[in-house]
């Protein structure tokens, strides 16, 4: 066992207490599953509606017990940032009655966009810059995908949904940051939500690293590969800065790139910014 594997085991031990408490939700067979509601929102006494938008890693390994837990949450729609070609057709998640799965790709690349070797080298040399480029690329190409989810929120206030990608950190983290920002959640709380993936991914790390070792280009750039799994506060701070300074803010981004109208944005806030005691 190398040092990275030992660290992965230590991560799991330290994460257990956090993973057993809100905002994390236990759904058997699904990692990094949590509610992104309850954060203080615009206006004193208001919060983001809880038990409505959930985020997670790929749910394809869900168990029968997990299916029941998912049903108990009332989830009617699952938005997957993964390619439908990656979908596990034999998974229990694809055969759940009354649950619609919608594939909304942020980009054509399934993992790190661009030339993998060059990207991993940059992740080794300057992970902050590597994440900045990666997340900016998602903004450039992901507007229609993000817009589809925001439209659901606008039109279906009583239909809880799940958003996921591969590990529930990057594409899902970018969506969550846009969602919380639109609702007036503070940057500090958006950062808190983002970095929770360090704990949510902890039980997956050993498996992810074993899988990564089957790819020669990843093995040859191991430090960079390890850095791609980090949830650094500065990463999402930089992302929010890009949204403000390069895309005119979250509202303007969702109008011009996501196809939302002013009425959509008003409806979203009306639907999911709720009194704290609701």
Q: Is the pLDDT of residue 178 over 50?
A: yes
For range 53-64, the mean pLDDT: 96
Q: How far apart are CA 265 and CA 218, in angstroms?
A: 41
What are residue 102's DSSP bridge partners?
Answer: 79
Average pLDDT, the chain: 92
What are residue 101's DSSP bridge partners?
Answer: 78
Q: Is the pLDDT of residue 112 over 50?
A: no
Mention every residue, 6+ apart, whose C-beta is less than 8 A from residue 80. Answer: 58, 87, 101, 102, 103, 104, 164, 165
Domain that holds residue 16: 3-275
Of 84-93, 94-103, 148-157, the poorest mean pLDDT is in: 84-93
CATH of the domain at 167: 3.90.190.10
CA–CA distance from 128 to each of 83, 228, 236, 247 (Å)?
Answer: 26, 10, 10, 20
Q: How far apart are CA 193 and CA 132, in angstroms?
A: 18
CB 164 within 8 A of CB 33: no
Q: How confident is the model at residue 94 (pLDDT cuts 50, 70, 90)?
A: confident
- Phi/psi for 78 (5° steps) reads -120, 125
- What percent of the chain has a predicted confidence (pLDDT) above 70? 92
For range 108-112, the mean pLDDT: 53
Q: How confident is the model at residue 90 (pLDDT cuts 50, 70, 90)?
A: low
Tens-digit pLDDT profile for residues 164-175? 999 999 999 999
Q: How far apart are CA 14 and CA 25, in angstroms?
A: 17
Q: How many domains does the chain have?
A: 1
How does DSSP classify residue 95? G
CB 209 within 8 A of CB 4: yes
According to the model, what pLDDT value does residue 1 have?
39
- Phi/psi for 55 (5° steps) reads -130, 150
Q: How far apart are CA 34 and CA 55, in angstroms?
A: 6
* Count of residues making up the chain: 278
Mention every residue, 6+ apart, whose C-beta is less than 8 A from residue 44. Answer: none
Tens-digit pLDDT profile for residues 219-275? 999 999 999 999 999 999 999 999 999 999 999 999 999 999 999 999 999 999 999
Q: Is the pLDDT of residue 14 over 90?
A: no
């Amino acid at each position: 066992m190398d040092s990275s594997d030992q660290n992965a085991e230590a991560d799991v031990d330290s994460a257990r207490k956090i993973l057993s408490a809100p905002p994390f939700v236990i759904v058997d067979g699904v990692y990094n599953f949590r509610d992104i509601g309850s954060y203080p929102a615009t206006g004193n006494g208001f919060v983001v509606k809880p038990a409505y938008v959930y985020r997670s890693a790929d749910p394809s390994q869900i168990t029968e017990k997990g299916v029941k837990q998912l049903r108990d949450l009332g989830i009617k729609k699952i938005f997957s940032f993964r390619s439908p070609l990656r979908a596990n057709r034999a998974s229990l998640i694809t055969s759940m009655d009354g649950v619609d799965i919608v594939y909304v790709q942020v980009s054509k690349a399934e993992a790190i966009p661009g030339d993998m070797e060059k990207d991993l080298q940059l992740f080794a040399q300057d992970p902050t810059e590597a994440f900045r480029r990666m997340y900016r690329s998602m903004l450039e190409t992901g507007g229609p995908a993000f817009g589809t989810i925001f439209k659901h929120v606008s039109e279906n206030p009583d239909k809880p949904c799940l958003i996921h990608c591969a590990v529930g950190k990057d594409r899902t983290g970018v969506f969550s940051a846009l969602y919380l920002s639109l609702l007036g959640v503070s940057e500090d709380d958006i950062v808190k939500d983002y970095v929770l993936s360090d704990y949510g991914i902890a039980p997956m790390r050993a498996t992810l690293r074993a899988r990564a070792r089957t790819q020669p280009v990843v093995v040859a750039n191991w430090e960079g590969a390890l850095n791609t799994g980090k949830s650094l506060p500065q990463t999402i701070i930089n992302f929010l800065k890009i949204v403000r300074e390069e895309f005119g803010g979250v509202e303007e981004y969702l109008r011009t790139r996501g196809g939302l109208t002013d009425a959509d944005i008003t409806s979203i806030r009306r639907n999911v910014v709720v009194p704290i005691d609701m």
